[in-house]
Amino acid sequence: MLKSVTCILLIFSNLVYGHVNLDRTDEVSELRIEVIKSFDVINARTGARGKISPRGDVKVRVVGKNKWAYRIRIERNGIDSGKEYLVDKKWLKKALNMQAAYNALMLQRTIQDATNSPTGECNDQNEDQIADQQDIPDSNPDEVENEPRFEVVVAEDLFEDPEPIVTNNKQWKPGCSVLGDRKTLDPSNADQYQSLKKCIRSIQNSVTRNGTISDRGRIFRNLYKYLRPEEQHFAAMIFTAYGESAILVQDKSNPEVNHLEEPLMVMKVINNRVRNANKDRARRGQGQNMNALDIALDPWQFSMYNANEPGWKRTIQPGYGANFNNMIKAYMKFNHSKFQPDPQINHVYHYHANYMLPSDSAWGRGFRANHKRLELAVTVDGKSLREAPAGLDEGNASDRNKIARNWRLWRHRFYLPIDTKGQVKANGDNWYWTVRRPFRS
């Protein structure tokens, strides 16, 4: 028993203090990597094309490579279908939970070094293999001829060393020290931009720790527990803007053009709510210590964080491959941007997607009757946000259904302050919201 405890402690010590290094030449064909996004495949024997989705317990083993593709096998619920597929190299890693796989490989090496024994299988393999329901059929008559040779895949082919995991809330995460004074962020500073790209990835790694997400409450609490206040602000703004508006950055007609007005307005709403919530606390004789993370995680406010929504997981999970570049650019521009109309823009606390319309029970009696009058046409740096879809009435349920089916018609609608009766005083801000903070403790 003492020997077992000692072994466990040694393994834990190696994991924490990083005494084990990844051998870049380790073969990784037996490593089972979780599928988190759908990807296209080609049946290696028939050439039939198809798609693998993450429904259920789906894992990939990378068993070979050539110049352009990885050769893979699929396991569903621990059962190998017996078929092999080809996947374009540039797409596969974006579809797999590479952070969790990296940590699994490191754990494997840690155990091997700590026990001085060869690494064995961690689960029993069912030898009675059955067909994967999602596998691509073998019935395609076009056989692949002159199939190229495939080489063994080693760790170096799949993995880059991730940013270190830092769980000390006094220590800067890698790349995050540029947040020391947000006013010094310069949108044209390439070095700051690259640092913030590293920062958001190291924040992801630190708050998820093991590269996967199984406990929503714990992950949210880790944002408070492991991050400095400056990092909390950055994470709240970047994660929320990405989850709420990433698709709206893309130009409707030109995918090469990006518009940062939407994420900047999401950040503006968070900033407005922080100020308003601290005023509310002061009015009630409480300390004014509300921050952007409190606002972002306030239950049932930003839908991407809801327990029944996948947005928070896709955003915070390191292996999912979320692209935060536009959100970081927006964050760097925030203090340099001009929001109009002033002063009304400083009292915008509510917005929603135009393919839905909140009910009176959710937003206050009379909201639906007054929603067009309460909507505010906002601009950022002189640029208007997406226009309302031509010929469609966003107040009509049938037209909203049409809007929902085409992302090019999507936009956010921003509102003047809304009180419980759906009315607004002509020259005042009578909206107060008591923010709940269940994850802060």
Predicted local confidence at residue 425, as pLDDT = 57
CB atoms within 10 A of CB 135: 18
Residue 302 lies in a domain: yes
Assign 327 a pLDDT band (cuts: 50, 70, 90): very high
At 125, is the pLDDT very low, low, confident or very high (cuts 50, 70, 90)?
A: very low
Least reliable range by pLDDT among 92-101, 164-173, 349-358? 92-101
- Please indicate, yes or no, if residue 441 is contained in any of the structural domains: no
Residues 281 and 345 in one domain: yes
What local confidence, expressed as pLDDT, does residue 238 receive? Answer: 98
Is the confidence at residue 200, as pLDDT, over 60?
Answer: yes
Residues 57 and 183 in one domain: no
Domain co-membership, 348 together with 207: yes
Contact 197, 324 (CB under 8 A): yes
- 192 and 138 in a single domain? The answer is no
Which residue from 268, 255, 244 is spatially nearest to 412, judged by alpha carbons?
244
Predicted pLDDT of residue 121: 37
Q: What is the pLDDT of residue 118?
A: 37
For the segment 404-430, what is each residue's pLDDT rounded down to a tens digit? 999 889 999 999 888 755 555 555 677
Query: How high is the pLDDT of residue 43?
Result: 86
* Same-domain pairing of 143 and 206: no
Q: Do 152 and 184 fall into the same domain?
A: no
Q: Are 341 and 270 in contact (CB under 8 A)?
A: no
Residue 102 belongs to domain spanning = 2-158
Q: Would the pLDDT of 116 be above 50?
A: no
Torsion on CA atoms 236, 239, 240, 242, rounded to nearest 10 = 150
Residue 326 bridge partners (DSSP)? none
Last residue of some domain: 158, 185, 202? 158
Look at residue 1 in the predicted model and tell me its pLDDT. 47
143 pLDDT above the threshold of 70: no
188 and 286: one domain?
yes
Asked if residue 13 has pLDDT above 80, the reply is no
pLDDT of residue 111: 53
The band of 203, judged by pLDDT with boundaries at 50, 70 and 90, is very high
**Same structural domain for residues 356 and 244?**
yes
State mean pLDDT over 68-92: 86
- In the DSSP assignment, the letter for residue 312 is H
Our count of domains for the chain comes to 2
Give me the mean pLDDT over the 378-390 stretch: 93
69 and 154 co-located in one domain? yes
Q: List, for residues 285-307, the tens digit of each pLDDT value.
A: 888 899 999 999 999 999 999 98
Query: Could you tell me which residues come within 8 angstroms of residue 86 by beta carbon, excluding any fewer than 6 positions away?
Result: 41, 42, 44, 69, 70, 71, 72
Give the count of beta carbons closer than 10 Å to the beta carbon of residue 194.
13
Please check whether residue 422 lies inside any domain of the structure: no
C-alpha span between 332 and 129 (Å, rounded) = 53
Residues 243 and 351 placed together within one structural domain of the fold = yes
131 and 193, same domain (yes or no): no
Which helix (H) or strand (E) segment holds residue 352: the answer is: strand 350-353
Percent of all residues in the chain with a pLDDT value above 90, rounded to a whole number: 44
Kindly state whether residue 169 falls inside one of the protein's structural domains. Answer: no
Residues 217 and 345 in one domain: yes
